[in-house]
Amino acid sequence: MSSSSNCTEHEAVTNFREYLRIPSVHPDVDYSKCVEFLLRQAQSLGLPSNIYYIVPGKPIIIITWIGQKPDLPSILLNSHMDVVPVYPEKWTYEPFSAHKDDDGNIYARGAQDMKCVGIQYLETIRKYLRDKLVFNRTIHVSFVPDEEIGGTFGMKKFVKTPEFSALNIGFALDEGLASPDDSYALYYGERTLWQTVIKCTGTPGHGSLLHENTAGEKLRFIIDKFMNWRECEKLRLKNGNLGPGDITSINLTILEGGCQINVVPPELTVCFDVRLAIEVDPNVMESIIQQWCREAGEGVTLEFKEKNARIQPTKLNDENPYWIAFKDQCDKMNINLKTSIFPGATDSRYIREIGIPAIGFSPMNNTPILLHDHNEFLNEKIFLKGLDIYYNLIKSLASV
């Protein structure tokens, strides 16, 4: 079917493609068209919606389906509206055209990350309403801004508000990743995000002389320490039965300093993106890095651009009734779940941080992982199969 033919297209797919055509892309996202679209969806479902502006220009939309026993803790279905930048010249089709090829692959930024999930939530509820189903627990569907740049003005602030508390959340679903094989990826925790900035100061001077105590010598010492740490983690990943979320990742991302090639600079800076594995004690690791800074020489300082606290993963055991319900449904559907720690960072971390269990799950199997990549796509059959999976899962969660 060509992208222009919608005559036999499933309503959910049509809504998905309309959402994908809204270029809610960084930097400086304009969320107004998303708000307009989502309020129209709420209206078509006959459900109440609220918009919260905790920060101007950063809307948080909550669409609510009130349960039979609204005093029970509710279910939160979270997704984010924003998408990462694109390089249009690298795409086969225009990145916000939601072009559908003859195989049913829908190409657009956000197809996997994560406008698919937001629409699947709404279309699942639409199906429940048509089937005249009712559940004990209230279901809130949230659409938040700025997840792709850390959620600072989105979920991070929202979880600390009285408005969030009033939602009375007992359990949350959020995004996962596609899986290239038959299995489905499920994420129950995240590593601890650190963005470190290490400044090395030293003797400046003419580039023709071998000065003592230069910033460059200290910088080299620091880089060696971090890169040796990185090499150890690479070996653990290569030689053990571990996934990307099970080890600490260390990446040198920014080098700054110097003004002219023949001038020894008074200061050089190196930045590392570090994601600490959940078993690593952040306090111990920070002490080690501080020790490296002292060993490098005087005038070497550690700062954090981002320093997340270590957050307890969601329990996947009998203590968590939502997990029992989720796993039971997956078993009934013969879904092969692969549970692991998420390699990146999502809004789930802010939800878990305040003590609410959360699972990251995007029902996309047999699909290459293309989030943030060129030619991001999702096949419409996989999308619709995901809708059937959510139909059983959310029903089960809302009935716990």
Question: Nearest to residue 140, comparing CAs of 112, 163, 157, 156?
Answer: 163
Instruction: Exactly one of 82, 123, 190, 246 is catalytic; name it.
Output: 82
Residue with tokens 């602030």: 157
- DSSP 8-state code for residue 307: E
Packing angle of the helix pair 380-398, 11-20 (nearest 10 deg): 100
Catalytic: 273?
no
Which residues sit opposite 251 in a β-bridge?
A: 273
Between strands 49-55 and 192-201, the pairing is unpaired
CB atoms within 10 A of CB 39: 14
**Residue 335 to residue 337: CA distance in whole angstroms:** 6
Q: Active-site residue among 113, 123, 146, 147?
A: 147
- Residues linked to residue 254 through DSSP beta bridges, in sequence order: 271
- Say if residue 322 is exposed, middle or buried (CB neighbours under 10 Å; 0-12, 13-18, 19+): buried
Q: Return phi, psi of residue 41, to 5°.
A: -65, -45
Residue 118's Cβ-side half-sphere holds a number of Cα atoms within 13 Å equal to: 30
Phi, psi of 217 (to 5 degrees): -65, -40
Whether 306 is catalytic: no
Active site residues: 82, 147
